Chain A
Amino acid sequence: MNGQKSSQTALRQPAPLLSPNGWRGLIVASIFICVLAPITNLWLPESSRLHLSDYAVALIGKIMCFAICALAMDLVWGIAGVLSLGHGLFFALGGYMMGMYLMRQIGRDGNYHSDLPDFMVFLDWKTLPWHWALSDSFVATLFLIVLVPGLLALVFGFFAFRSRIKGVYFSIITQALTFAAMLLFFRNETGFGGNNGFTDFKRILNIPIATQSMRMTLFVLTGIVLLGFFLMARYIVQSKFGRVLQAIREAESRVMFCGYSTLQYKLTIWTLSAMMCGVAGALYVPQVGIINPSEMSPANSIEIAIWTAVGGRGTLIGPIVGAFLVNGTKSWLTVVAPSIWLYFLGLLFIAVTLYLPNGVIGLIKKLTGSRT
């Protein structure tokens, strides 16, 4: 009788969002992002040993954007088993939406002192093309950052999933999609600055963008978004929705037989994931100061998959760790020995696939012997 009661309460209580250690880690991360990083970067003198250099802020800020992409990738690939090799496109689209707004914020301070962005003057355009209509408004831009990648993902995903395109075929099509978009954006006629893209940003919300405090603001914002998305992803995975996605990963036809519309489920997580990438791109562009079509190159999208695999698929925290590990190594290696980076990346991917199917997180769990 007692046993029955305890199992009933176990069923009633929803699983905790994070383990106690998870909460501790989250608090440490938030303290670092919101308190320690601003203090050590802005107020400690550069001579101090604890000073956080501007270079480090820029690098970590950038990697946090990548980590958001990796997290988004984990939701579709690690949890639902849909490998996308086109997530760079959604990242770039979010970036372009932000870039358009930043271009308009330059105002008359460009090289040609025109109301139009420089590249349009260069192309001898007299008025803004139609798709720049909302670029003036920051609020509209915020909406577009999630809506444009989301809508593209929704339409593309609907047709792909409805046609039951799965596995490697789906991956190849996403790859083709981002490649096609890259070719489109390379053209000057498309109205996104051709191969130069957007750069030379001056202001955001009429505040100068290239100051130390603005960089720190963007850094903190990115960090908060990353942690927020992580919690959201945790909630999704702990919910029944997440369990259905995992079941789809294992045996989609059987889930369908249980009465679930797997199309709906896959489409939801796929679109959500694309939106997350869009937000990451929008945070990335003001921090690095440039967006151009090379962000849509297939190699970039493949890298996102590599971060996820290196960290550990389906673990949520793993891809974030993976993004930091791989990009940290990248920024170090490209300084020390620039020519071997690509070889290293290839070897890393092979090694992880062969020896670490569960990534770094899987390795740590194996070593510490913790369960699940």
Chain B
Amino acid sequence: MNPELMQSGTKRLAAYKETLTQSPVVNTAAGGSMSMGRPHRSGELDLVHGRILYLEDVSVSFDGFKAINKLSLDIAPGELRCVIGPNGAGKTTMMDIITGKTRPDEGVVYFGSTIDLLRHTEPEIAAMGIGRKFQKPTVFEKLTVFGNLELALKTHKDVRSSLFFRLNSEQIDRFSEVLHTIKLKEYVHQTAGNLSHGQKQWLEIGMLLMQEPRVLLLDEPVAGMTDEETARTAELLLQLKGKHCLVVVEHDMKFIEAISDIVTVLCDGAVLAQGPLAKVAADERVIESYLGR
């Protein structure tokens, strides 16, 4: 062992650590990005293969109607994926399947490379880090913005801890960060029922963020918003991109244009086209079934 060797070793270690801080979504717990000879720890999110959500040949039918028909999806960590499609294309059903609300008849659904979502219940999936925002804002109207966020905060949730709960400085930072992100800082102590429709939607996104999710499923986040609110929501989602994986279902094409990299078009329960918006929008079949001429 000579000094040069030691020095180069320290350098390499420092460089390695830097790559870790730059991309926080890379799984480090199981030994960096080596994929072979790694112990598999059950319940741990494995992102080595560059996918956080993986659906293959998923089918589900309700009373004979095929809501989802051999749907396959592959979503990378930190990606912002937009899903569009005509009514009844199966967009909401797809989210129901991912969150465990609906069980598919066949197919596989994986979270990371190792967690089979079909084996878990709804609350378990939520606890693992898949957050969902429904179409209708469902905040607790009688509680304040603070109360709503506090309820969603990731912490011990038994009675005794709640009874003597005090925010620690780390959690206060988290609060400030989320409040800043969702632009509701001045409304902390306002009752959520008094917020505007758009603010309620942001608050709900904030509640999801408090749970520190890996994946955020957003079902029509800008429905009923004014143009200005829509623009601010687009800004908000772009800010979250990279830190979280976002799957957005939306009809508002202007909004999609503002935020999208890859757009998936669903039709009759299967993927019709996929790619950048410009390419997808030029696709004959998409124009036929969804966008119109």
Which A residues contact B (CB, under 8 angstroms)?
A: 3-4, 7-8, 10-12, 14, 236, 239-241, 243-244, 246-247, 249-251, 254-261, 264-265, 268, 372
Contact = CB atoms under 8 A, between A and B. Distances in A.
B238 interface: no
B252 interface: no
Contact of B179 (A7, A264, A265): A7
A258 B143 CA distance: 15
B159 A11 contact: no
Nearest to A248: B140
Contacts of B162: 239-241, 244, 265
A243 B147 contact: yes
B18 to A, nearest CB: 29
B126 interface: yes
Contacts of A244: 151, 162
Nearest to B168: A12
A239 B164 CA distance: 7
B188 A264 contact: no
B146 interface: yes
A79 to B, nearest CB: 11
B159 A264 contact: yes
B292 to A, nearest CB: 37
B111 interface: no
A4 B158 contact: no
Contact of B163 (A236, A254, A257, A260): A236
Contacts of A239: 162-165
Nearest to A5: B176
A250 B141 contact: yes
Contact of A11 (B126, B167, B186): B167
Contacts, number: 82
Contacts of A251: 138, 140
B183 interface: no
Nearest to B134: A254
Contact of B150 (A236, A243, A254, A259): A243
A231 to B, nearest CB: 15
Interface string B223-255: 000000000000000000000000000000000
Contacts of A247: 140, 143, 147, 151
Contacts of B185: 3-4, 7
Contacts of A260: 151, 157
Nearest to A245: B162
Nearest to B126: A257
B38 interface: no
A236 B188 CA distance: 21
A153 to B, nearest CB: 15
A176 to B, nearest CB: 28
B152 interface: yes
A247 B162 CA distance: 13
Given A11-B172, A11-B188, A251-B138, A258 B152 contact: yes
A7 B149 CA distance: 15
B200 to A, nearest CB: 14
B285 interface: no
Interface in B149-198: 150-152, 157-159, 162-167, 172, 175-176, 179-180, 185-186, 188-189, 191
B11 interface: no
The 7 closest A-B pairs by CB, nearest first: A240-B165, A241-B162, A241-B163, A240-B162, A243-B147, A247-B140, A260-B157
B142 interface: yes
Given A3-B185, A10-B188, A239-B165, A261 B158 contact: yes
Contacts of B152: 258
A72 to B, nearest CB: 17
A372 B207 CA distance: 23
A235 B28 CA distance: 43
A145 to B, nearest CB: 23
Given A4-B176, A246-B147, 9 more contacts: A11-B172, A11-B176, A239-B163, A240-B163, A244-B162, A249-B142, A258-B211, A259-B157, A264-B159
A259 B127 contact: yes
Nearest to B144: A243
Contacts of A11: 146, 167, 172, 175-176, 188
A244 B159 CA distance: 9
